[in-house]
Structure 1
Amino acid sequence: MKLKIRFLIVPTLALMLLLFAAIVRADTVHVIQPGDSLYRISLQYGVTIDAIVQANNIVNPNLIVAGHELIIPGVDGPATGQPLPAATATPSPTTPTTLPAHAIVVEDGVLHTVQKGDSLFRLSLAYNVAIADIVAANNITNAGLIFAGQELLIPGVSGLASSLPAATTPPTSATTAPQATAAPPTLPTADPNVTNLFKNGNFEGDWYFYLYNELQVPTGWQLATDEGPNTLNPGSGGNFNRPEVRVVGKNQLPETEWAWFIPEGYKSVKVFKGGAPTSFSLFQDVYLQPGSYRMTLNFFPDIVAQYYPGGTRDFNTDPLSGEVRVIHNDGGTEWTTVTAGQPNSRVYEFNVAQAGGVRLGASFRNRFETANNGWFLDNWKLERIR
């Protein structure tokens, strides 16, 4: 009897293994290349980022490593999705036609010598390489801390490296962002069923830890912090400090503050730091078709000069205590001042002439030491208007 049982088990296991192999063969294995990101891979294969994350049990969607293998679920054979446009295609390591004097071509990309005012965010824009790829290529443990003179490998760079944007831009007295000036193209009809093209634009969805437990970033978004010298004048000097980032719900705030910090829904993003200047950016890479678009960014500057017993506070009235600029690829708007202690917003309109990936979001900074340099971000929206 025992022999019969064993005889039955063996072919059953064999059949299960064959079925499992058949299932695996229905998927495609992608070897991560320098310059790859989940966003680019999802476009290449026509598979959602969430599907790739779940198939590979990825903890941090912004950190993948060149040479590792990814299962692309539901794709059998070559990529079937829309080909990547030139602006976002995974670059191959070829010699750029022109490079800054402080960058040289190496086998795996470009070796960039960090200059004063550089940050991983600015390098990512300049070389069109994901921040996570630069972090992985250089084994960086603190993405907010790079220093002048340090050499960084920028993996997979091809073509001309663009000029780095200025480290600081003088603030202006404008209160709204200017409209982009590109000529509008001939436009197809917008999808009436899609009202917000940002993934998790209302921040009501899930979140992930980025590098540190105090950096809790909403799913679909990327975060960059500046921990370099605070050279702004006027300013408190020293270095910018890394703020804490939290996705908070109404259950974590007094009900009297809900109208301030969470005007819609149940959650918002809280960014804060006491007694130190801060500078950070929150942004998302979105694949857009030709058309005209409007981005609306809502936020509450919780910039506090002094706290009192019972939770009351005096908001900082200095017009330079908080500033914001819109991110649009490697451009956007100038820095503009905000009003602490009340809801603020920025509305930015732009045109897309050719389908491709577009980086959108905002940068925030506090140049002074104060009781709290805080920001609540809620209900960001990207919509097609023509």
Structure 2
Amino acid sequence: MSPEAVIINKTGRYIVYFTTCDEDLDGTVVRGRTVWKNLDGYLPGETAPLMKFYGFMFVAYMLLGVVWFPRFVRYWKDGIQLHSHVSLVIAFSMYELAFMYSGFAYLDSVGTSPVKATLWAVSFSSARKALSRLLLLALTSGYGLVKPEISGFTPRMLLLGGMCYVISLSLGSAQHFGSLTEDGMTLLMLSWAIMETCFLQWIFRSLWNTLKKLKVNKRNIAKLQLYKNFAVVLVTMAVLNFAWVYVEVYINDSLSELWQVKWMIPAFWYVLAYALLVVICCFWPPTEKPTRYLYTAEMEDEFEEEDEDEDLVLAEAGMKSENGRNVEREERKSLLEAFILLFVNIRER
């Protein structure tokens, strides 16, 4: 066949078929290539808006960094481990988006994907995802806020974070380079879903335990209120997360009709992650005297005293009870707390 150009005059989703009606050519292998180009470049129409989106998100993280990093450097000595962790997440996110944008720009202008830029983008994306989930675990567990920082990340946290990085790196590489079979992709996606479920369950369990611990000490009203507000944000994010999964499945099933909005699937996750990071930066900013949320040694003694008094009262009440019923140890749960308990009890069910 001689080279042939096909002019497209209408925007849409097009597929090229090679067919033959000659029975003598049955089983013939056709080798060749097709070159697709839009008016603006080589990017497919369904992913072209992502290049502008990655550029926009890079600017958004730059603005967040301009606000965060000067305060972080200024109050370095008064800061906590949490602030260093947030700084790492912001830095890795900026590098990730910079490589994603440069990779898309190169593909749009040349027509081939840059391997090195794509690998760097996938690597930084995987590191950012692992760091973000470890940040939520440390935050909901209260390290440096309700518990001493010296306990830091447990080996189990670091193991799960390492698994998150490896699975995300493998999945991202397979999606960009198509190096796995369909069964291999299914196994990786299943592994990612299981790991995400473990993270989600662990985060909400830790958050519930931290809230319960803060309720014991009546002198930590500010910290308790701060964690309650953060719990509202996390529950809202979880609801949006589950809702978008259904939207993503619907869009993928209706790809022929909704191809123009396919780029919104990955874009939503970036916006959700950025919004959650902004909330964390607003709730726990670097300050000269972060006593509002900083852990103090006296907190542990106060918690122990409160626990002893509570156990003594409950023991006396249990002895006086004639019908042998257990005394309720906690006050009535709010709607928010009940929602958190729903996630906590997933493993037990």
TM-score by length of 1: 0.21
Structure showing the higher helix proportion among its residues:
2
TM-score by length of 2: 0.22
Structure showing the higher strand proportion among its residues:
1
